[in-house]
Amino acid sequence: MTAPEAQVREQILQAAARLTGEGLIERTWGNISARVSDTQFLITPSGLAYETLRPEQLVLVNIADASWEGDIKPSSEKGIHADAYRLRPEVNFVIHTHQYYASVAGIEGRALTGFIHPLLGKRVPCAAYGLPGTARLRQAVEAEETAWPDCRAFLLRSHGALCLGRDMEDAFAAARALEEVCEARVRNQLGEGRPFPVPPDLGISFRQGDSFHLTRKGRSRVYPIDGTPLPRAAALHAAIYRAGRFQYIAHETSPETLAVSVLGRRLRPYLDDLAQIAGADVLCVPAEPGRIEWAVWGRNAVLVRGMGALCAGTSESDVQAVRALVAKGCEARLYARAIPGCRPLHPADAALQRLIYQKSYKRKSDLC
């Protein structure tokens, strides 16, 4: 039996906090639902921040046709959740995550087979690619759920994972097990990697009117955005502030980001969320202000050749999300190099997702 609706609403909010706390999603990229009856389920709304989400903002959706009640728009992936409840009567909780290693492993577009994990059995299917929120993606996931009715976790090519459970704990257990399996797979393909010299610290900064506060090596100084001459790190930050309505900038030097910056090539997204949040591509340029200003135009990140990436946004939380997605996107890029035939998103798909994100979610998250 399902719990009372009020209790289910509270449980979804608990799950939202756990997903962000355990690093299975960034911001609102992912969605959560729970069955409330044989005919309806509750799901997280589209574009609203999980940290401020209220029980009454969860949307009641009909399983039969994915129609919903109320004025708040449900997640665009409501159809995928509806199909899970329709096809799997034993399922009472569904989470769609953008978890790090499952997202990376999913860019292959192939199922994981063999002995996978005691909780997952011998197969994790992989749904064919479809743009987020489209009938094509829904149909691809439905096909895998129909073909493999006993599976509890599914990879969605270039789009994360779907985990099903009898209850919240069961769904979370499947997500964690999937991440363990995928991490082992990715690490096995990439090996230890070669160490790179520690790059110069380009610092973090925030804008204040026509100037910005830059912190490097524990020391903070104020610089004018249009001032010259400026120290190199300050000049790079100033260039980015001139290029967009950014308020915060941070230097990202994770090993995977540094490794991709050393390659000296633009980063074409293999994952939907990178295309949406960072840009249809992320250019890699030398640490020269003019090149940086040009390369970050219309984007939220730029790779600095051999030095990692500079990530920008309108708040500290925005920048942290960009940093996390750039690191994951770089991991996917390195993984793709080890997998024959693994291709990035089509440029048109990447550009469309960036445009839709900016138009549809800009007012809610105001990232760009």
Residue 368 has a pLDDT of: 32
Could you tell me the CA-to-CA distances from 97 to 86, 132, 180, 306, 367 in Å, in that order?
A: 20, 13, 14, 31, 20
Segment 269-278, tens digit of pLDDT: 999 999 999 9
Give φ, ψ of 170 to 5 degrees.
Answer: -65, -40
Supply the mean pLDDT for the chain.
92
Q: Can 22 be counted among the known catalytic residues?
A: no
64-89 as b/e, with b when 16 or more CB fall inside 10 Å?
eebebeeeeebbbbbbbbbbbbbebe
Out of 48-52, 147-151, 236-240, least confident range: 48-52
**Does the predicted TM-score (pTM) go above 0.85?**
yes
Residue 366 has a pLDDT of: 38
Residue 52 has a pLDDT of: 81
Out of 52-56, 92-96, 157-161, 261-265, least confident range: 52-56
Neighbours of 2 (CB within 10 A): 16
Residue 121 has a pLDDT of: 92
Domains of the chain: 5-190 (3.40.225.10), 204-365 (3.40.225.10)
Segment 160-183, tens digit of pLDDT: 999 999 999 999 999 999 999 999
Catalytic option among 22, 26, 69, 77: 77
Q: For residues 287, 293, 299 and 303, what is the CA-based torsion angle, rounded to 10 degrees?
A: 0
State yes or no: pLDDT of 365 exceeds 60. Answer: no
Contact status, residue 49 vs residue 16, Cβ threshold 8 Å: no
Structure tokens at 234: 């300050």
